Amino acid sequence: MGRIHFGGDYNPEHWPEEVRAEDIRLMQEAGVSMVTAGIFSWALVEPRPGAYDFDWFGRVLDDLHGAGIRVCLATMTASPPPWLTEQHPEVLPQDADGVRRWPGSRQHFCPSSPVYREHAVRLVTELATRYGTHPALESWHIGNEYGCSNPRCYCDVSAADFRRWLHERYGTVEALNTAWATTFWSQRYGTFEEVFPPRTTPTFPNPAQVLDYARFCDDALLQCYLAEKEALRRITPDVPVTTNHMPLHKPVDPYAWAAHEDVQALDFYQDPYDPETHVGAALAFDVTRSAGGGRPWMLMEQAPSAVNWRARNSPKPPGTMRLWSWQAVAQGADAVLYFQWRATPGGAEKFHSAMVPHAGTDTRIFREVRALGRELAAVPQLAGARSRPEVALLADWHSWWALEQGSHPSADLDFAETLRRHYRPFFDAGVECDVVPPDRDLSAYRLVVVPNLYLMSTETGARLTEFVRAGGHLLVSYFTGISDDCDRVHLGGYPAPLREVLGLRVEEFWPLAEGQHLPLTGTLTGSGDLWSEAIDLEGAEEVAAFGAGELAGRPAVTRHAYGDGVAWYAGTRLPVAAMRALVDRVRAGAGVAPVLPGLPAGIQATVREGAEGRFLFLLNHGAGTATVTLPEPMPAVAGDGVDPAAGPVASVDLPARGIVVLRA
Ligand code: GLA
């Protein structure tokens, strides 16, 4: 992108046209270099079917161009206009009980609806035809937060589309019966016509059907995106396309979508009331960067201060908006944008903060926005640089969909929470991570972490085994490698695809009662909770054992030297300190060092490397000033208490919420 872009959602239709001159002037003052425009403009640009009123929108683009502001142009399709659903009520989505969702909000469309897609594509074609060569156009922003409010529709249109999808996937109904194990509970299907979406059932639905429905629903959303993308590509083959994802959003698999995006875009709203908010953000940023194979990505939305959709909406205390914006840059973002430019007086988001608040520009928020815009404008050399983590965590949306269903040994398994727990010790230690899907090439990593990957194909098991044989280090946690892609259990002792590399067999799961803790004995201290299991060693050595309960004396954590590498296994959920101790040992064996040794608590350190050099980012998420001693003197690029014009510095005093970027 050539620079670190700065800006936000620009919704000029909320205001009389004369406000725009002030908008543009203030954008320039604030260093705004990019806006995403038109996201919810459908009803205004197409007030009647096929009758367009684009004049006002064209003037907006012209004015932005005149000010040198690039536009990531939205395709306007996230909120169908009232005429569409009035004329075609079948476009409206239905929940699993058959209850219809009505207009009056947004995203009130069934993702499988051909009527919705046809109207969306018609609008997008019109947009691309009109503005495809507009000089302000930088990229296309397709839809908006796919699946935020309509992740799953269960209407008859969806049912028919699901049957088509199943037919394509399985070919014959016999193959479907086998995949879904429909001999169970008399579910055998004679034709695809007999199959329904997993609407509300008297008791547990078929788990493979639920899994396939999650796959289908994600795919239906993706097909909406692709229908628009195809129309855009026909007319503007060289203009990049993207869409903004929500963080760790269960209905939408970012890895599947990434193949169809030219740049990854994420919306992340840090919660000032959550002391761990920056850790959750770090994980989501790493997922986003990894989805794109490490290329620079866009933080498409964040709040300048408070949001309006939590139960209690804290403003961002002074300095945190800057800190959390730099965090995205430190983790690979080349654009930092907000929702939204100017706070509206009406509508459902009137209490959401904006770059220009209700109180105007003589405000803390605008001053902080302006300062950050200027700061980011001064560091174009950072753009394009990449990080190169040596650790990968595996995440798999299909496994997530299969894991969190009823009828399992425990209802307490929560994939996102488990992923965070495995990510946290690396973040705390200052070790950068990628978060990749299981089919990625793992050869560039020294260490691969596999948290609760319930669904695992035999091939993935074989690849992980090979990874260790060739010298890689592997850390696997409980209830991993249990079922295949159709959610059928791999037989012969759990986790069958990994037994050889882990050197063990799990005979029986023993999930723990609520609040139950089992003390650990051996070389890890603390107690496991949530989960335990009966592990038989088959070559692995015991690292820690259960110290109480029915499994007292049996292994809880193991280590197996295999080939040229080592495979570790945790058969219980470890508390934070024990997890940290385990990860430190695993890392030491794998030769994975933090970005800087001896980082003070609360300091995040990352490295981005590119054509313009190698840059070290230091961010202070802690409450007090921290001193970071550098391994060698480094010139400063930007940040607190440093002068880029002065010579190299040997150490940095980082105030709370401070940031520094150095040339490493
Ligand atoms: C999402 C949407 C925006 C806006 C913000 C508010 O990210 O994409 O349109 O509603 O939330 O936080």
Q: Are residues 400 and 351 in the same domain?
A: no
Instruction: Check which CATH number belongs to the domain holding 342 and give it.
Output: 3.20.20.80
- In a domain, residue 28? The reply is yes
Return the structure tokens found at 155. Answer: 């209407």
Average pLDDT over residues 194-220: 98
Catalytic residue from among 46, 138, 145, 432: 145
Residue 565 pairs in a beta bridge with 562
Average pLDDT over residues 314-322: 98
Is 145 touching ligand 1 by the criterion CB < 6 Å? yes
Q: Are residues 512 and 584 in the same domain?
A: yes
Burial state string for 369-378 with b = 16 or more CB within 10 A and e = fewer than 16: bbebbebbbe
Give me the numbers of helices (H) and strands (E) for the chain, helices first please.
Answer: 17, 26
- In a domain, residue 186? The reply is no
User: Using CA atoms, how far apart are residues 196 and 209, in angstroms rounded to an integer?
Assistant: 9
Assign residue 72 a region: left if phi > 0, alpha if psi is -120 to 50, beta otherwise?
Answer: beta
Q: Please identify, by atom number, the ligand 1 atom nearest to the C-alpha of residue 301.
A: 7
Q: Please identify, by atom number, the ligand 1 atom nearest to the C-alpha of residue 269.
A: 12
pTM: 0.98
Q: Are residues 625 and 586 in the same domain?
A: no
Q: Are residues 516 and 643 in the same domain?
A: no
Burial state string for 174-207 with b = 16 or more CB within 10 A and e = fewer than 16: eebbebbbbeeeeeeeeebeebbbbeeeeeebbb
Instruction: Check which CATH number belongs to the domain holding 575 and give it.
Output: 3.40.50.880
CA distances to 168, 615, 634, 651 from 490, in Å:
25, 46, 53, 54
* Mean pLDDT value across the chain: 98
Summarize pLDDT for 324-380 with one digit per residue, the tens: 999 999 999 999 999 999 999 999 999 999 999 999 999 999 999 999 999 999 999
- In a domain, residue 190? The reply is no
- In a domain, residue 285? The reply is yes
Q: At what angle do helices 156-170 and 173-180 cross, to 10 degrees?
A: 90
Residue type (1 letter), 2: G
Res. 1 pLDDT band, cuts 50 70 90: confident
Q: Are residues 400 and 487 in the same domain?
A: yes
Q: How many domains does the chain have?
A: 3
Q: Are residues 102 and 238 in the same domain?
A: yes
- In a domain, residue 158? The reply is no
Preceding amide of 49 cis, omega within 30: no
Range of the domain at 631: 603-663
User: Using CA atoms, how far apart are residues 498 and 192, in angstroms rounded to an integer?
Assistant: 35
Burial state string for 555-583 with b = 16 or more CB within 10 A and e = fewer than 16: bbbbbbebeebbbbbbbbbbbeebbbbbb
Closest protein CA for atom 4 of ligand 1: 339
Among 382, 403, 427, give the residue marking a domain's end: 382
- In a domain, residue 134? The reply is yes
Which helix (H) or strand (E) segment holds residue 316: the answer is none
Mutate to test the pocket of ligand 1, among 145, 266, 352 (most ligand atoms within 8 A of CB): 145
- C-alpha 547 to ligand 1 mean position (Å): 48
Among 590, 612, 637, give the residue marking a domain's end: 590
Q: Are residues 317 and 296 in the same domain?
A: yes
Return the structure tokens found at 304. Answer: 């300048």
145 catalytically annotated: yes
Instruction: Check which CATH number belongs to the domain holding 607 and give it.
Output: 2.60.40.1180
Summarize pLDDT for 607-662 with one digit per residue, the tens: 999 999 999 999 999 999 999 999 999 999 999 999 999 999 999 999 999 999 99
Q: Are residues 297 and 232 in the same domain?
A: yes
- In a domain, residue 104? The reply is yes
- In a domain, residue 212? The reply is no
Is 349 touching ligand 1 by the criterion CB < 6 Å? yes
- DSSP assignment, residue 380? G
Q: Are residues 234 and 118 in the same domain?
A: yes
301 catalytically annotated: yes
Among 343, 360, 382, give the residue marking a domain's end: 382
- C-alpha 591 to ligand 1 mean position (Å): 42
Q: Are residues 553 and 608 in the same domain?
A: no
- C-alpha 69 to ligand 1 mean position (Å): 22
Rounded (5°) CA angle 311-316-317: 125
User: Using CA atoms, how far apart are residues 238 and 417, in angstroms rounded to an integer?
Assistant: 40
Res. 392 pLDDT band, cuts 50 70 90: very high
Summarize pLDDT for 243-294 with one digit per residue, the tens: 999 999 999 999 999 999 999 999 999 999 999 999 999 999 999 999 999 9
Q: Are residues 350 and 274 in the same domain?
A: yes
Q: Are residues 346 and 312 in the same domain?
A: yes
Query: CA gyration radius for the chain?
Result: 26
Catalytic residue from among 46, 126, 228, 301: 301
Residue type (1 letter), 598: G
Is 11 touching ligand 1 by the criterion CB < 6 Å? no
